[in-house]
Amino acid sequence: MVAEKVKIILEDGKAISQMFSDAQAMIAEFGAENVYNFSIGNPSAEPPEAVKQAMIDELNCQNPTYLHGYTGGLGYADVRQAVADHENETFGTKFSANNVVMTVGAAGGLNLVFQLLMNPGDEVITFTPYFSEYKCYATNVDAALVLSETDENFQPKLDVFESLLTEKTRIVLINSPNNPTGAVYSEDMLKKIAAIMEKKQKEFGTVMYMVSDEPYRYIAYDNVDVPYITKICKNAIVANSFSKSLSLPGERIGFLIIPSEIEGYQEIYEAANVINRTLGFVNAPALIQRGVARCLNAEIDVEGYKKNRDALYAGLIEAGYECVKPQGAFYMFVKTPIADDWEFYKKAQKYHLVLGPGVAFGGPGYVRISYCVDYDMIVKALPQFKQLMDDIRAEQKK
């Protein structure tokens, strides 16, 4: 019999598992080419050629005992230095290897941060709609996830946010570019969030950390600025990964930036070394640590995602859907023409469209469309979206 905690996680993850099994069942029935599966966030851009070459070079030039050995909980020192140098060159920061922890993706990094900072009963606050696994990460450490609403453009409502901060708030979790909306928070917005945190920490006599979950940092369009939070907030930690920026989600590689300026830096950084081990990760996978360090400047085809976004957005608007044009990531969060997004999700399947019900992301009345797919699939799916809308409107008129 599973533990109560597991039951909570399974209950919350129900919608996501349903989406996966529905997609699989439809593919088995109609064939993959006849199903428009927009339900998952697996990158469609190919990893850069440089990644393959880097792995081959590593395999050829390293002593295998070293290459495949334990790397220490924080990761290889030269890899951490390479990541710090890359951040410094790109963002004008001043990090060293001792501000970097190599992690098992951004997810591994976030779980590590939660373990490091949260006591049972503490609160982590994030903005809705949100990446639903945050709730599981909070449950893992017996903390509570508090949800703060956003406006019609998926930007934080600051008065709501301020009213939700309490003595128990330990982490403010930012995700920009956002999954599932594609929204990006401006520097001004982040400064306002940081100022509210500052005010409330003084009022309560507590310490809060801003944690930025940013696996989509490099997938941003139209020259939108994705601000670097350690320059905005003193107590800021960055969780990043190569899952989307180099299309390597299965390799499970990412990193944390823990700046020396944050409250309790020394203790936190030293603890990270131990806690990464005790989470079962032991260390981030060794070969891919070294591989990514060789191609930190490599890029995937972001223009391909932009082409998908533009075609999908134009087609949906023309068909009568309401949505905010995403500024980053590869998701669009679209208002459902009927209030119940589960009902819409089921109706869409009759048109061979597999979408992500908004309720699974704390955004009822919407669906998430992952447009990290082949462009041709979007072109073929748009008439289906239009037919679906036309049929719903006709039904509504009856």
Check: CB of residue 208 under 8 Å from CB of residue 227.
no
> Closest approach of Cβ 242 to ligand PLP, in Å?
7
The residues of the shown chain that bind ligand PLP, judged by CB under 6 A, are 41, 105-107, 131, 175, 179, 213, 215, 241, 243, 249, 254
Nearer to ligand PLP, 123 or 251 (CB): 251
Beta strands in 254-330 (DSSP E): 254-257, 322-323
The upper half-sphere exposure of residue 79, i.e. CA atoms within 13 Å in the direction of its Cβ, equals 28
Query: What is the distance between the alpha carbons of residues 22 and 12, in angstroms, rounded to a whole number?
Result: 17
Measured between alpha carbons, how far apart are the two ends of the chain, in Å?
50
> Closest approach of Cβ 393 to ligand PLP, in Å?
33
Q: CA 283, 287, 293, 299: dihedral to nearest 10 degrees?
A: -110
> Closest approach of Cβ 388 to ligand PLP, in Å?
26
Nearer to ligand PLP, 58 or 213 (CB): 213
Nearer to ligand PLP, 45 or 382 (CB): 45
Nearer to ligand PLP, 95 or 281 (CB): 281
Nearer to ligand PLP, 41 or 328 (CB): 41
Long-range pairs for 21-29: beta carbons < 8 A, 24 or more residues apart: 22/349, 22/354, 23/354, 26/349, 26/352, 26/354
> Closest approach of Cβ 250 to ligand PLP, in Å?
9
> Closest approach of Cβ 46 to ligand PLP, in Å?
17
Nearer to ligand PLP, 16 or 319 (CB): 16
Check: CB of residue 225 under 8 Å from CB of residue 186.
yes
Residue of this chain nearest to ligand PLP (CB atom): 105
Quick one: which of 167, 211, 217, 218 has its CA closest to 190? 211
> Closest approach of Cβ 81 to ligand PLP, in Å?
21
Query: What is the distance between the alpha carbons of residues 143 and 122, in angstroms, rounded to a whole number?
Result: 5
